[in-house]
C-alpha cells in the first residue's frame, strides 16, 4: 500500500549508512579526471548525512555522461530519456511523496533538450533536489557546445566557435522563482557535500548547479584543480542567502566569477506541490468501485 | 415510430446544446435508448453548432444516417454543418420563418425533402419575453408535442438550467416551451413522428459520453495517477480525473506538454501506481518517445488516444480512425505494444479497464484508441455490474525473491516481478538503455536479442484472447465485414438489416487491434470468399495491417472514407448487397461508386 505520509523533509536519521553504502560495485565509465567522480562522492556523503536508506531513494536521470550516476548507486535508479528526468521524477514524487527523490543530469540534458521542463518544475515546487552537472559541453556525443557554453567555444565540427550566448543556470533558476539555488564544485568535495545535503533537506524544489568539468572536451580554466583556485565561497564573501536580489546580482557574474555555496534560500519556504496535493486528497479514500456508483 | 433521428442546427447562442442535453436526459428517464452527438463549426465559442439525436425503443448502435426531422434555425449555419446533418428525401424539415426562405428556395443542393415547414420560432420566443435565449425552449416544445414526449420531465429540466448572467427568468423559458407545444398541437406534421412507448422505464440507466466512461473506468481499475495536457477531443478525460482522482487517493498533473505528461505517468508507474495519460493525435506523436521508454523498462502505462482528423493539427473536432498506424508502428526499435479500441460508448469502460489489466499483467504500455464520435457523443447506458470485472495488479517480488532480485529476469512467460522504491532489496536501475537481467546497461548483442525476445514474446498470449473480439452474423457466410471503433456500431446495424432481408453475412469487430491475433482472423476468414474492412481513414489502415499479418480471403477489400465524412448504416447495407453479386468487376465498381473511394 502506498503511504502518503512523510515528506522529503528529513529530520531524524532513519538509517546509519555511510557514504559507501550508496555506491555499488560497478566501475563508472567516465574518463579519468572527470568531475563527475567527485560529484558522485559528494552526493553519497550528503546522503549518508541525511540518513535515508538507499531503497527509500528514487534517483532519476536523463541521458548524457553525468546521467549515468544512478547506474552506480544502490538507490532505486531511473536512467530515463534525454531531457525528461524532471517530469519522470515529478511523477514518482507525486505517486510516492514519502520517497526522497533526486534528479541528476547534464547541462545539455537540462537546458537544451529538457529546457522546457525546468521552469515548470521550479514553479510547481515539488520536494525534489535537482543536481545539474554543468560542463559546458555535450560530452557523450563528442564535445559539441552546450547551451551553457560561452560564445566562441568550439565543438568538434566547429570552425568559428559558438555564435550563441550562454544560458546562465543560476540566474535562470532564480528568475523562475526557485526557492533554493546553490552552486558547488567537485574540487571542494566537502563543501559540495554540505551544499547537496542542505538542498536535500530543503522542503521544496532545490536547484544545485555543479561545475563538473569535462576533462576531455572542457576548457582548461574549468578543470578540477584550476576551479579550486578560482572558487569564491559565498559565505566568506559575506553573502546573505535570504537576499534574493543580491543573489541575482551575484549570479550575473556567471562565466566570470566562480561562486560556490548557497545563492538563495527562501527563509519562509511556501508549501511544496506534494503538500498542496495531499490537502486535496480525501481521506479515507473512496473505494475504486464507488467510481461507477 | 420505433425511433427517429433528429437534427437541430443554429448559432451557439441559440441554446441548441442545452436542448440536446435536455432531450437525451428525458429519453433516458422514459426508458428510451438514444445517442447525442454535438458539433461545433469552430473551436471558438460563438459559431455554428448542431446536435444530432437518435432515439429508439431498442438499443441504439450508432448515431444514424439521414435525418428524419431537421430543425433549422439558420440556413447559413446549416450549410456549414450539412455533412453531419444530412437532409434526404425522407426528411421533414422545419425551419425558422425568420430566415425568410420559402420551401422552394431552401439551400439543399437539389434534395427535395418530404416536407418543409416554416415556423415562427423567433417570433414565439420574442413573444415569450427573451428571443435569443429561449429559442431552444420553443424547439423543445415543438419536439415534445410532435414526438409525444412527457412534458413534465422536459419542463423540469428547463427550469433547472442556469445560463449565466443573461439568464432570463425560468418563467420566460416555460412560456416559450408552452408556446412551442401549443403551436405543434395545432399544426401536426405531415408525417406522424410520435414515438412508440418504451417497454421499460429508465431505471438506473445513465447518460454519459465515451470520455467520461474512460475516466470512470480508470478510477474503477485503480488508477492513482493521471497526467495530461488539454487537447480536443480528449480533454474531458482530464477534466473528469482532475475533479475526481483525489477522492480516491490519487493525484493529477496538468503537465507542461504531452511529453512531460507521459513521462510523469511512467515515473508514477515506476513508483508503483497505476498511471494513465490521455491525448489526441498531435499529443500522441509527442508521447512516442515515452511509450518507447515504457516498453524498454517494462512499466505498465495506459495511453488513451482519442483520434481526430489529422495529420498535424488536422480537424480537432471531427471523427477519424487514422491513428492506427501511429499507434502500432510509431516507436523506434523492435517493439510491440498492445493497441485496444472500444466499440461503443459503453464499451469504452470495459476496454479501458482491460487496458489497465493488460498493462499491469504484461508490464507494457497499452494504447487505447478511441475516436471523437465515441469520446464526445453521449449515449443512454445500462448500469455497470462491477462483479463482471476482474482487476489485475502487477506481479511484485516475494520476500524470498527480493533476497536475490533481478528486475528483468528472463522467465518462461517473459514476465518478471516488479519492485518499486521503498521495497528493501528491490533496488534496480530502470534504463532506457538496453540492459541485462539486473538492469545494468549493456551493448551486448546477445543480451539485446534475449531481452527483445522477452519483451515481445510475453505478449503472445494476448493473441489468443477471443474475448477481445465481437462476432455477429452467420458463421458459415461467404461474405463478411471487419470494422473497428465507432464504425463497428454502423456495420453491426447494417449486418442486422441485411440478415433480416435474408442475406447471409457476418461481422468481426476487433477490440484488440495489435498485436494481430492471426488465428482469430483466420478462423473468421475460413468460410469467406469476399471480405471488406470498413473503416474511417483514407488508406484503410486496419485493412493494410491485416494484409501484413494474416492469410486473407481471395477478395479482401477496403471500404474507407476520410474522417468527417459520415458512413451510414444504409450505405453499408448497399455494400453488403453489392458483395452478394457474383461478378468481381461489378462489385468493385459498385463499392467504389458507393463510397467514393479508389
CATH of the domain at B584: 3.40.50.920
Q: Is there a single domain that holds both residue B257 and residue B336?
A: yes
**Using CA atoms, how far apart are residues A207 and A199, in angstroms rounded to an integer?**
7
Cβ-Cβ contacts under 8 Å, B251 against chain A: 94-95, 277, 281
Does A3 map to a domain?
Answer: no
Across the A:B interface, residue pairs with CB atoms under 8 Å apart total 181
DSSP labels for B26-88? Answer: HHHHTT-EEEEEEEESSSSTTSEEEEEEEEESS---S--SS-SEEEES-HHHHHHHTTTS---
8 Å CB contact of A95 and B271:
yes
**pLDDT confidence of residue A160:** 87
Q: Which three cell numbers stand for residue B5?
A: 433521428
Q: Is there a single domain that holds both residue B476 and residue B373?
A: no
B-interface mutation test, from A30, A62, A91, A287, most B Cβ less than 10 A away: A91
Q: Is there a single domain that holds both residue B240 and residue B372?
A: yes
CB contact A176 to B (< 8 Å): no
**pLDDT confidence of residue A170:** 98
Q: Angle B541-549/B518-525 helices, nearest 10 degrees?
A: 100
Nearest one of B377, B379, B359, B376 to B367, comparing CA atoms = B359
Length of chain A: 293
**Mean pLDDT calculated for residue range B504-521:** 98
Does A2 map to a domain?
Answer: no
% of chain B exceeding 70 in pLDDT: 95
The pair phi, psi for residue B472, each rounded to 5°, is: -150, 140
B-interface mutation test, from A21, A79, A95, most B Cβ less than 10 A away: A95
Q: Is there a single domain that holds both residue B182 and residue B211?
A: no
**Using CA atoms, how far apart are residues A159 and B320, in angstroms rounded to an integer?**
50
Domain count within chain B: 3
Does A172 map to a domain?
Answer: yes
Q: Is there a single domain that holds both residue B500 and residue B541?
A: yes
SS (H, E, C) chain A: CCCCCCCCCCCCCCCCCCHHHHECCCCCCCCCCCHHHHHHHHHHHHHHHHCCCHHHEEEEECCCCHHHHHHHECCEEEECCCCCHHHHHHHHHHHCCCCEEEEEEEHHHHHHHCCCCHHHHHHHCCCEEEEEEECCEEHHHCCEECCCCCCCCCCCCCCCCCCCCCCCHHHHHHHCCCCEEEEECCCCHHHHHHHHHHHHHCCCCEEEEEECCCCCCCCHHHCHHHHHHHEEECCCCCCCCCCHHHHHHHHCCCCCCEEEEEEEECCCCCCCHHHHHHHHCCCCCCCHHHHHC
SS (H, E, C) B242-309: HHHHHHHCCEEEECCCHHHHHHHHHHHHHCCCEEEEEECHHHHHHHHHHHHHHHHCCCCEEEEEEECE
8 Å CB contact of A91 and B270:
yes
Does A215 map to a domain?
Answer: yes
Q: If pLDDT is split at 50, 70 and 90, which confidence band does B432 have?
A: very high
By the 10 Å C-beta count (0-12 exposed, 13-18 middle, 19+ buried), B145 is classed as buried
CB contact B499 to A (< 8 Å): no
Nearest one of B170, B181, B149 to B31, comparing CA atoms = B149
**pLDDT confidence of residue B45:** 60
CB contact A1 to B (< 8 Å): no
Does B413 map to a domain?
Answer: no
Does B356 map to a domain?
Answer: yes
**pLDDT confidence of residue B55:** 97
CB contact B250 to A (< 8 Å): yes
Contacts with B, A 20-39, CB within 8 Å = 26
- For residues A132 and B204, the model is more confident at A132
Nearest one of B420, B239, B181, B264 to A80, comparing CA atoms = B264
Q: If pLDDT is split at 50, 70 and 90, which confidence band does B544 have?
A: very high
The pair phi, psi for residue B387, each rounded to 5°, is: -70, -15
Distances (CA, A) of B471 to B339, B369, B480: 19, 20, 11
- The pLDDT tens digits of the residues spanning B65-120 come to 999 999 999 999 999 888 889 999 999 999 999 999 999 999 998 899 999 999 99
Cβ-Cβ contacts under 8 Å, B402 against chain A: none
pLDDT at B551 over 90: yes
Q: Is there a single domain that holds both residue B176 and residue B246?
A: no
- A146 to chain B nearest CA, in Å? 22
**pLDDT confidence of residue B584:** 60
Average predicted confidence (pLDDT) for chain B: 93
State the distance between the two ends of chain B, measured CA to CA, in whole angstroms. Answer: 38
List the domain range (segments joined by +) for residue B499: 467-595
pLDDT at B593 over 70: no
Q: If pLDDT is split at 50, 70 and 90, which confidence band does B159 have?
A: confident
Partner residue opposite A92 with nearest CB, options B220, B268, B431 = B268
pLDDT at B170 over 90: no
Q: Is there a single domain that holds both residue B281 and residue B328?
A: yes
Q: Which of B9-13, B185-189, B489-493, B563-567 has the highest mean pLDDT?
A: B489-493
**Using CA atoms, how far apart are residues A219 and B94, in angstroms rounded to an integer?**
79
Task: Select from B348, B369, B388 the last residue of a domain.
Answer: B388
- B325 to chain A nearest CA, in Å? 24
pLDDT at B412 over 90: yes
Does B159 map to a domain?
Answer: yes
**pLDDT confidence of residue B156:** 86
Task: Select from B186, B217, B236 the last residue of a domain.
Answer: B186
Partner residue opposite A94 with nearest CB, options B221, B253, B420 = B253
Q: Which three cell numbers stand for residue B60?
A: 441504439
Domain with residue B343: its CATH number is 3.40.50.970
- A80 to chain B nearest CA, in Å? 6
Looking up cell 540566474, which residue turns up? A171
**Mean pLDDT calculated for residue range B45-56:** 88
List the domain range (segments joined by +) for residue A207: 19-292
**Using CA atoms, how far apart are residues A259 and A184, in angstroms rounded to an integer?**
8
Give the dihedral sign, CA A39/A135/B255/B257.
negative
CB contact B386 to A (< 8 Å): yes
The pair phi, psi for residue A18, each rounded to 5°, is: -105, 170
- A280 to chain B nearest CA, in Å? 6
Partner residue opposite A95 with nearest CB, options B220, B268, B425 = B268
Domain with residue A275: its CATH number is 3.40.50.970
- Number of Cβ atoms within 10 Å of the Cβ of B165: 4
**Mean pLDDT calculated for residue range B132-146:** 90
Does B399 map to a domain?
Answer: no
Nearest one of B356, A49, B254, A96 to A78, comparing CA atoms = A96
**pLDDT confidence of residue B162:** 60
Task: Select from B186, B215, B247 the last residue of a domain.
Answer: B186
Does A5 map to a domain?
Answer: no
8 Å CB contact of B247 and A282:
yes
Contact by Cβ (8 Å): B499, B483: no
**Using CA atoms, how far apart are residues B253 and B375, in angstroms rounded to an integer?**
21
Block mean pLDDT (10 aa), chain A, length 293? 42 80 96 96 98 97 97 98 98 98 97 97 98 95 93 86 95 98 97 98 98 93 90 97 98 94 98 92 72 67
**Using CA atoms, how far apart are residues B328 and B323, in angstroms rounded to an integer?**
8
**pLDDT confidence of residue B596:** 46
CB contact A79 to B (< 8 Å): yes
Domain with residue B143: its CATH number is 3.40.920.10
Q: What is the ipTM of this complex?
A: 0.95
Does A7 map to a domain?
Answer: no
- Number of Cβ atoms within 10 Å of the Cβ of B255: 23
CA neighbours closer than 13 Å in the CB half-sphere of residue B493: 20
**pLDDT confidence of residue B585:** 62
- For residues A176 and B172, the model is more confident at A176
Does A80 map to a domain?
Answer: yes
% of chain B exceeding 90 in pLDDT: 81
Consecutive H or E run containing B228? strand B223-228
**pLDDT confidence of residue A281:** 84
Does A49 map to a domain?
Answer: yes
Total-model pTM:
0.95
Domain count within chain A: 1
Q: Is there a single domain that holds both residue B215 and residue B350?
A: yes
**Using CA atoms, how far apart are residues B219 and B247, in angstroms rounded to an integer?**
10
Does B195 map to a domain?
Answer: no
**pLDDT confidence of residue A6:** 40
Cβ-Cβ contacts under 8 Å, A291 against chain B: 216, 219-220, 244, 248
Partner residue opposite A55 with nearest CB, options B266, B297, B423 = B423
Q: Is there a single domain that holds both residue B10 and residue B125?
A: yes
**What pairs with residue B534 in β-bridges?**
B483, B559
What letters, b where the CB count within 10 A reaches 16 and e where it falls short, cover B401-437?
bbeebbbbeeeeebbbbbbbbbbeebbbbbbbbbbbb
- The pLDDT tens digits of the residues spanning B232-248 come to 999 999 999 999 999 99
Distances (CA, A) of B477 to B131, B150, B501, B524: 57, 44, 14, 10
Looking up cell 505517468, which residue turns up? B265
By the 10 Å C-beta count (0-12 exposed, 13-18 middle, 19+ buried), B190 is classed as exposed
Amino acid at each position: 500500500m502506498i503511504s502518503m505520509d512523510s515528506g522529503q523533509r528529513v529530520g531524524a536519521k532513519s538509517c546509519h549508512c555511510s557514504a559507501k553504502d550508496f555506491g555499488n560495485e560497478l566501475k563508472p565509465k567516465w574518463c579519468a579526471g572527470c568531475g563527475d567522480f567527485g560529484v558522485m562522492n559528494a552526493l553519497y556523503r550528503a546522503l549518508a548525512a541525511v540518513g535515508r536508506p538507499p531503497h527509500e531513494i528514487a534517483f532519476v536521470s536523463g541521458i548524457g555522461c553525468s546521467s549515468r550516476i544512478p547506474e552506480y548507486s544502490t538507490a532505486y535508479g531511473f536512467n530515463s530519456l534525454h531531457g525528461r528526468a524532471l517530469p519522470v521524477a515529478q511523477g514518482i514524487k507525486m505517486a510516492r511523496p514519502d520517497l526522497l527523490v533526486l534528479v541528476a543530469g547534464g547541462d545539455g540534458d537540462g537546458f537544451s533538450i529538457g529546457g522546457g521542463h525546468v521552469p515548470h518544475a521550479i514553479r510547481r515546487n515539488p520536494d525534489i533536489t535537482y543536481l545539474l552537472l554543468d560542463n559546458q559541453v555535450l560530452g557523450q556525443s563528442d564535445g559539441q557546445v552546450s547551451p551553457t557554453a560561452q560564445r566562441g567555444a568550439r565543438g568538434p565540427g566547429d570552425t568559428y566557435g559558438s555564435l550563441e550566448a550562454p544560458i546562465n543556470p543560476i540566474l535562470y533558476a532564480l528568475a523562475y522563482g526557485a526557492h533554493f539555488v546553490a552552486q558547488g564544485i567537485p574540487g571542494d568535495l566537502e563543501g559540495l557535500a554540505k551544499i547537496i545535503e542542505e538542498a536535500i533537506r530543503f522542503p521544496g524544489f532545490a536547484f544545485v548547479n555543479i561545475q563538473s568539468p569535462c576533462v576531455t572536451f572542457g576548457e582548461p580554466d574549468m578543470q578540477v584543480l584550476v576551479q579550486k583556485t578560482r572558487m569564491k565561497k559565498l559565505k566568506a564573501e559575506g553573502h546573505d542567502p535570504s537576499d534574493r536580489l543580491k543573489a541575482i546580482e551575484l549570479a550575473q557574474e556567471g562565466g566570470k566569477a566562480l561562486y560556490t555555496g548557497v545563492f538563495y534560500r527562501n527563509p519562509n519556504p511556501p508549501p511544496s506541490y506534494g503538500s498542496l496535493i495531499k490537502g486535496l486528497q480525501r481521506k479515507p479514500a473512496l473505494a475504486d468501485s464507488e467510481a461507477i456508483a | 415510430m420505433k425511433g427517429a433521428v433528429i437534427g437541430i442546427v443554429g448559432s451557439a447562442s441559440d441554446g441548441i446544446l442545452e436542448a440536446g442535453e435536455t432531450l437525451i436526459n428525458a429519453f433516458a428517464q422514459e426508458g428510451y435508448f438514444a445517442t447525442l452527438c454535438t458539433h461545433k463549426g469552430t473551436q471558438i465559442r460563438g459559431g455554428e453548432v448542431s446536435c444530432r439525436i437518435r432515439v429508439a425503443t431498442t438499443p441504439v448502435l450508432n448515431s444514424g444516417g439521414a435525418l428524419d426531422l431537421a430543425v433549422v434555425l439558420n440556413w447559413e449555419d446549416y450549410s456549414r454543418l450539412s455533412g453531419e446533418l444530412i437532409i434526404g428525401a425522407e426528411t421533414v424539415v422545419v425551419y425558422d420563418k425568420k430566415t425568410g426562405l420559402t420551401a422552394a428556395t431552401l439551400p439543399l443542393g437539389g434534395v427535395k425533402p418530404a416536407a418543409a415547414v416554416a415556423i415562427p420560432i423567433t417570433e414565439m420566443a420574442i413573444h415569450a419575453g427573451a428571443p435569443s435565449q429561449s429559442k431552444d425552449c420553443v424547439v423543445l416544445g415543438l419536439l415534445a408535442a410532435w414526438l409525444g414526449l412527457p412534458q413534465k420531465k422536459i419542463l423540469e429540466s428547463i427550469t433547472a438550467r442556469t445560463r449565466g448572467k443573461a439568464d432570463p427568468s425560468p418563467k420566460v423559458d416555460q412560456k416559450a416551451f408552452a408556446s412551442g407545444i401549443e403551436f405543434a398541437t395545432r399544426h401536426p406534421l405531415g408525417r406522424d413522428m410520435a414515438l412508440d412507448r418504451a417497454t421499460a422505464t429508465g431505471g438506473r440507466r445513465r447518460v454519459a459520453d465515451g470520455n467520461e466512461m474512460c475516466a470512470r473506468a480508470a478510477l474503477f481499475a485503480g488508477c492513482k495517477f493521471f497526467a495530461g495536457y488539454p487537447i480536443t477531443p480528449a480533454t474531458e478525460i482530464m477534466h473528469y480525473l482532475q475533479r475526481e482522482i483525489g477522492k480516491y487517493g490519487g493525484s493529477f498533473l496538468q503537465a507542461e506538454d504531452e511529453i512531460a505528461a507521459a513521462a510523469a505517468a511512467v515515473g508514477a508507474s515506476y513508483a508503483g501506481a497505476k498511471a494513465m495519460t490521455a491525448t489526441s493525435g498531435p499529443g500522441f506523436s509527442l508521447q512516442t518517445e515515452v511509450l518507447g521508454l515504457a516498453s524498454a523498462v517494462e512499466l505498465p502505462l495506459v495511453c488513451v488516444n482519442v483520434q481526430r482528423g489529422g495529420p498535424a493539427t488536422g480537424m480537432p473536432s471531427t471523427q477519424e480512425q487514422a491513428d492506427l498506424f501511429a499507434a502500432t508502428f510509431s516507436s523506434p526499435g523492435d517493439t510491440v505494444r498492445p493497441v485496444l479500441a472500444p466499440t461503443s460508448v459503453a464499451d469504452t469502460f470495459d476496454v479501458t479497464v482491460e487496458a489497465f489489466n493488460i498493462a499491469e499483467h504484461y508490464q507494457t504500455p497499452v494504447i487505447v484508441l478511441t475516436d471523437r464520435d465515441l469520446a464526445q457523443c453521449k449515449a443512454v447506458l445500462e448500469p455497470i455490474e462491477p462483479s463482471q470485472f476482474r482487476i489485475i495488479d502487477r506481479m511484485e517480488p516475494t520476500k524470498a525473491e527480493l533476497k536475490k532480485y533481478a528486475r528483468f529476469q528472463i522467465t518462461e512467460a517473459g514476465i518478471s516481478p516488479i519492485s518499486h522504491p521503498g521495497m528493501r532489496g528491490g533496488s534496480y536501475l530502470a534504463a532506457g538503455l538496453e540492459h541485462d537481467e539486473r538492469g545494468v546497461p549493456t551493448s551486448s548483442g546477445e543480451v539485446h536479442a534475449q531481452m527483445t525476445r522477452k519483451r515481445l514474446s510475453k505478449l503472445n498470449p494476448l493473441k489468443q484472447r477471443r474475448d477481445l473480439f465481437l462476432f455477429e452474423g452467420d458463421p458459415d457466410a461467404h461474405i463478411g465485414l471487419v470494422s473497428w471503433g465507432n464504425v463497428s456500431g454502423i456495420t453491426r446495424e447494417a449486418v442486422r438489416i441485411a440478415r433480416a432481408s435474408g442475406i447471409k453475412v457476418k461481422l468481426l469487430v476487433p477490440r484488440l487491434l495489435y498485436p494481430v491475433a492471426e488465428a482469430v482472423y483466420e478462423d473468421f476468414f475460413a468460410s469467406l470468399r469476399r471480405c471488406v474492412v470498413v473503416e474511417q481513414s483514407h488508406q484503410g489502415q486496419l485493412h493494410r495491417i491485416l494484409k501484413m499479418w494474416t492469410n486473407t480471403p481471395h477478395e479482401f477489400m477496403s471500404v474507407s472514407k476520410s474522417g468527417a465524412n459520415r458512413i451510414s448504416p444504409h450505405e453499408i447495407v448497399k455494400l453488403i448487397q453489392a458483395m452478394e453479386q457474383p461478378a468481381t468487376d461489378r462489385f468493385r465498381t459498385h463499392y467504389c461508386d458507393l463510397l467514393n473511394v479508389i
